[in-house]
Amino acid sequence: MKIQARFILFFTLLVILMNGVAFYLFHNSQRTIDDYHTSFERFIVLNEISQQTNTVYEAMNTYLTARTQTELTAYATERKILSQEKEELLDTVKNEGNDQIVTNYENMIESFLLECDITVQAFQRQEINQYSGHLNEAAQISAFIQETTLTLINSELTDYRIFYNEMDQKSSYLQWMGISLFVSMIIFSLLMAFWFSRGITKPIHELAAAAKKLAKGDFTANKVVVKSRSELRLLAETFYRMQENIQGLIIEMKQKSELDQLLKEMELKSLQSQMNPHFLFNTLNTISRRAYIEGAEQTSELIESVAALLRYNLGNLAKDVTLKDELTIVREYFFIQKSRFGERVKFDVIADENVLDCKIPVLTLQPIVENAFIHGVETYEEGGKIMIRIYAEQDDVIIEVADNGVGMETTRLSQLFSNDEHSPIDNRQGHSTGLGMQNVKKRIELFSQQAGSMTVHSSKEVGTTVRLNLPYRKPKGDEQFA
C-alpha cells in the first residue's frame, strides 16, 4: 500500500472511530429522551381524558339547560374529541402491567359516552324520567373515570420512579462509557500512529545502515525486506539491485583484468607483429604453386583470403565480435586450406542465420577449426571432413566443430586443456593464431561470466567434436573486424 494511501486509511479510520463513538452516545441519549417522552405522554393522555370527560358532561348539562342547537353542536364536538382520546389511550397507556385496568377504563369511557347519548336522546323526546336516570348514571360513570384516572396516574408515577432510577443508572453508564470510549480511541490512535510510523521509519533506518556499509565498500549488507507494497518497497528493491549491480561491476572488472592478464600471459600482443612461420611458409608456398599452375584469377582470390586472415589475426584481440565475423574468417581459412589439399578435405557449415549476430570473443572458432584440421584430418589422403553446426537451444547458442579425424585417447584428451606449453597436444606448429584450446576455453568462460562452456568428445579412429555453449548476446551496434 502506498504511503499516501496509508495516510488516507489512517485518518479515515480515525474519523470513522470518532463518529462511531459520537453516534453511539447520541443514539443512547436519544433513546433516553424517547423513553422519557413516552412516559410523559401517558400522563398527558390520562389528564386530557379526565378533563375531557368533565367537559363532555358539562357540555351535555349546558345543552339540557339552554336547549339550543349551538349547545348541542358543542356537545357533539366535545364528545367526538373524547372518543378520539379513547382510541389514543390504547396506543399510549396500555401495557402488560395495566392491561386489565386500562380495558375497564376504556369500557367506562364507552359507557359514559353511551349514557350521555341516551340522556340527550331522551331529553329530545321529552321523556323526563328516563333522561334523568341516565343523566345520574353518566354522572356516576364520570366520577368512576376520575377515580380510575387517578389510579392509573399513581401507577404511572410508580413506574416513572423506577424509570427515573433506570435513567439515572443509564446516564452514569453512558458517562463512563463515553470516557472509556474516548480513552480507548486515544490509545487506539496512538497504537495506529506507532504502527504506521514504524512501517515507514524502520525500512528507512535499515536502508540508511545498508547505505553506510555500501559507502565503506562492504557489500555484505542483507536485503532490506519491506512487506507493504509502498514506495519504500520499491526504494528498498531498487537499492538492493543497485548494490548487486555495483558488486557485479566490480566482479566484471576483476574478470576483465584477469582476461587482460591472460592475454598478456599467452603473449597475444606478440601475435600482432608476427605469424607462425610454418603456417606462413605453407601458405605462401601454396600461392606460389597456384600461380605457377594456373592463371592469376584464383591466385588473387587466395591472396585476398590470406590478407583477410592476416588482418583479422593482427587486429584488436581484446575486443568482442559477432559470430558472423568469426564464421567469415573461418570460411577464408577453409578456402586457403582447400587450395592446399583440394578434395582431400571437405568443409561444411550449417548455421542458423538468426543467431549469427551473437557476440563472441575474437579468435574463438579459428583455433578450434585449425586444431580439428591439424590434429584430425590433415594426414588423410582422402575423405577428411570438418563440419561446423550453429543453432539456437533455448536462450543459448550452440556451436559444434566436428571432424572425422584420427580422434584422441583419454590421456591426450585430458592434455587438451593443459597449461603446459610443451604438451604434445599443444604443439602449435601449423597454427595461424598460436592460440591453444585452453586459451579459448578460458576466454569463453570469462566472456560469458562462467555462463558459457566448452566440451570436447573424441573417440579413437572416429573423430572429435568440440561443443561451445554460449549465452545469446546481441551486439550493441555493428562491429566489424579491423
What's the number of domains the chain is made of? 2
- Between CA 298 and CA 288 the distance in angstroms is 12
Same domain, 171 and 273: no
Residue type, 467: R
Q: Per residue of the chain (482 residues), what is the pLDDT tens digit?
A: 566 666 677 678 777 877 777 777 777 777 777 776 777 777 787 788 888 888 988 988 888 888 888 888 998 998 888 888 887 776 677 666 667 777 888 888 888 888 888 888 888 888 877 878 888 888 888 888 888 888 877 877 777 677 677 777 877 877 787 788 778 878 877 887 777 777 677 777 777 777 777 777 776 666 666 666 666 666 777 777 787 777 778 877 877 777 676 666 555 444 444 445 456 556 656 776 666 666 666 676 777 777 777 777 766 666 788 999 999 999 988 888 888 888 888 989 999 999 999 988 888 898 899 888 888 888 888 888 999 999 998 888 999 999 998 888 877 777 776 655 455 444 545 455 546 778 788 888 888 877 888 899 988 888 899 999 998 877 665 444 33
Q: For residue 164, what pLDDT is reported?
A: 72
Residues 6+ apart with CB under 8 A from 427: none
Domain boundary among 192, 207, 230: 192
Are 385 and 424 in contact by the 8 Å Cβ rule? The answer is: no
Q: Is residue 26 part of a domain?
A: yes
Domain of 86? 3-192
- Between CA 149 and CA 379 the distance in angstroms is 138
- Between CA 104 and CA 302 the distance in angstroms is 136
For the record, the C-alpha cell of 180 comes out as: 472509556
**Whose CA is closest to 449, among 225, 239, 249?**
249
Q: At what angle do helices 69-92 and 3-66 cross, to 10 degrees?
A: 140
Same domain, 150 and 294: no
Task: Say whether 346 sits in a helix, a strand or coil.
Answer: strand
What pTM was computed for the model? 0.45
Q: Is residue 223 part of a domain?
A: no
Please report the DSSP string for 442-460 in residue order: HHHHHHTTT--EEEEEEET
Q: Is residue 341 part of a domain?
A: yes
Task: Say whether 232 sits in a helix, a strand or coil.
Answer: helix
In this structure, how many other beta carbons lie within 10 angstroms of the beta carbon of residue 429? 10
Same domain, 367 and 279: yes
Q: Is residue 232 part of a domain?
A: no
For residue 294, give the CATH number of its domain: 3.30.565.10
Domain boundary among 150, 169, 192: 192
Q: Is residue 40 part of a domain?
A: yes
Same domain, 333 and 423: yes
226 DSSP 8-state letter? -
Q: For residue 314, what pLDDT is reported?
A: 66
476 DSSP 8-state letter? S
In this structure, how many other beta carbons lie within 10 angstroms of the beta carbon of residue 183? 10
Same domain, 161 and 305: no
Residues 6+ apart with CB under 8 A from 470: 358, 360, 396, 397, 398, 399, 444, 448, 452
Same domain, 176 and 283: no
Same domain, 311 and 406: yes
